[in-house]
Structure 1
Amino acid sequence: MQILKRFLDFYINGSIHVALSVYALVCMTGYLFEITLIQIPALFAFFGTIVAYNFVKYDALARTQKLQMRTELKAITILSLLSFIAAGYYFFQLSKTTKMIAFVFLILTLLYTLPFFPNQKNARNWAGVKIYIVALCWVGVTLFLPIIHSGISITTDVYLVTFQRFILIFVLILIFEIIDLKVDDPNLKTVPQQIGVKRTKMIGSGLLLVFLLLEIFVAHLCAKSLLMKVCIAGSTLLFLLFSNEKRSQYYSSFWVESIPIFWFVLLMVFG
């Protein structure tokens, strides 16, 4: 049992689970827009997410030497290095325009982590900005990256999926912010810090309703697609309503981050 827990902790702390969520959303984009060569951007996103998330989580602590190189961290370092090599391999297989888009999100990640100016905080510590940067990066990498790589035209359906995906990621981050309320720096000015948990849940619930209403405007609306989105919105709503500061890391870092994977599985089974 202890071995299983260590494996699960490594799986979560090494950002493999969140990378699978990103991979699932990229593959979902491939399915929705009939992109046949989806694996190159999907695998680039998967390995790139492991590198980016581990860099964001452990860079500051490593630079201030507050993090000891225990066994798990050494394994995460090796995983990140191998993922960096793999991400580089798939990066060079992307189209020229897609590489430029990927580079933009790399800059956003660096801006999110490192202070670009002397005596200034990084973007992660800019009041109220973190949630928008993270949601924007997720939408850009999981939606626009594969679409641009495949040369697909930006249609109305693309914009609708953009809004839906941004809303879903935004609400998922709200759940994280509620759970992290007791450990987050007050200067971050996260949504729950500014308006309280109750109002945050009300805003998240309203956004999930918008998420569903946007489905009405999809060009080829079908009952299966609507039912799947109802399942995803309902699952997310339950996680949102039952979120609080006392929840364990598995509640958010495993179960909440499983929602995109769950959505993709539904799409593969019933789509």
Structure 2
Amino acid sequence: MGSLVHDGELKVRVTDLSVVEERIGYRFKDRSHLVLALSHISAVKGPSPRIRSYQRLEFLGDHVLGAVVSDMLYTAFPKAEEGELSRRLAELVREEACADVAADMDLGPHIRLGSGEAQSGTHKRRAILADVAEAVVAAVFLDGGYAAANELVERFWRPRLEAPRRPLRDAKTVLQEWAQARGLPPPSYREVARSGPDHAPHFTMAVDLPGQIPAEADGPSKQAAQKAAAAAFLVREGVWNGTEI
């Protein structure tokens, strides 16, 4: 059955942890880091559950992952300008990409959940999987240092970096990912002007981000004008050239 590792009130079978270690290619000196990385807040009893779940680790892992991937991109694309590197970074560290890595690591079945969350399928939710993947990066960083974290990220993110580029989605989605990669809140949109008759209105919308100059654009609907404003922002920042979305 395997022995137990105790981390506060959590009891985790060493055999379970060994499976995770084998899958990610790293053996922990202090397995409490891995236990914490796999612990959802619903599994933690007692005071300060957020501190004793993976949430603090996810914060650290997000920044370690960003640093390692940025270094990978800087080396892999020596002729790419800052805007191109920023876009590639956003693609590689976005929630969907991290959730895919968690699936490759097979982390879902090993996430520690409260009974209610376990029954509701929380371990399959994309946001949870993405957070746990980043928490595991942080756990390896704390246990083995930057070199160990770098090796882990190389193993699981390098194939995605080298894969053919997927077609980009609409400009609003790309701009949101660009903002997220820079630690900014989601973009906000506001109506600047409206003209034309009710059956054929014309809108001018602006997109706002903290510390950034707003971008404006027109469209036959608010949604179309928002997309155009987001595209204008991305073109201005050199993130894309206006032909890929």
TM-score when normalising by structure 1: 0.25
Larger strand percent: 2
- Give the number of the structure with larger relative contact order, counting CA–CA contacts within 8 Å between residues 6 or more apart: 1
* Structure number with larger C-alpha Rg: 2
